């Protein structure tokens, strides 16, 4: 699916949508897969409220603020995503108390022991950095949702959206 955040009514006064996804429900489990998210300025998504999100093989582009905001009791496993021209792929400050695992060479042994497989790394182009927080908790809490979709390597978005969601748009 395509999430096009271009708008004339912008909370950040830059023509980009804010509050794109809110995963704040109790016991919410989401596999966020094959989406094209562009021209947003924050909370794309915001995750909390005992939610578990397995975000896999998505493409974030031209996001002027932050993409992931993981707060109280939020859990995220990011795998095989491509971030391009994204100022802050995930918010990491004093308010970031949720759990997020950003696969890297240093987390592979934890992925293997918890999930039974290596995690797929994300790709960044012209972006800030991805930073994990409470990664062990994110992994153990994500274990119940990772079997729904097998991630592939991160790839740059092509000129059509045929690889996102249900088909070409």
Encode pLDDT of 117-168 as tens digits.
999 999 999 999 999 999 999 999 999 899 889 999 998 766 555 555 545 5
CATH number, position 125 = 2.160.20.10
Q: Does any domain span residue 158?
A: no
Q: Which pTM was predicted?
A: 0.89
Query: How many domains are there within the chain?
Result: 1
Q: How far apart are CA 72 and CA 24, in angstroms?
A: 9
Burial class of 47 by CB neighbour count within 10 A (0 to 12, 13 to 18, 19+): buried
- Residue 153 in domain: no
Q: Is residue 162 part of a domain?
A: no
165 part of a folded domain: no
156 belongs to a structural domain: no
In a domain, 105, yes or no: yes
CA atoms of 149 and 33, how far apart (whole Å):
8
Structural domain including 62 reads 2-145
């Amino acid at each position: 699916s395509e999430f096009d955040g271009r708008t004339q009514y912008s909370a950040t006064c830059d023509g980009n949508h804010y509050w794109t996804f809110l995963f704040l429900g109790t016991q919410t489990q989401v596999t966020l897969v094959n989406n094209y998210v562009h021209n947003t300025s924050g909370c794309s998504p915001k995750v909390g409220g005992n939610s578990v999100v397995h975000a896999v093989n998505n493409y974030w582009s031209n996001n002027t603020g932050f993409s992931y905001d993981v707060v109280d009791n939020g859990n995220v496993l990011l795998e095989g995503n491509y971030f391009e021209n994204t100022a802050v792929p995930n918010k990491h400050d004093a308010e970031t108390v949720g759990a997020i695992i950003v696969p890297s060479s240093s987390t592979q042994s934890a992925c293997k022991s918890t999930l039974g497989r290596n995690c797929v790394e994300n790709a960044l182009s012209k972006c800030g950095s991805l930073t994990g927080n409470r990664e062990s908790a994110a992994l153990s809490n994500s274990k119940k949702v990772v079997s729904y979709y097998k991630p592939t390597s991160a790839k740059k978005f092509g000129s059509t959206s045929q690889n996102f969601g249900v088909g070409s748009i």
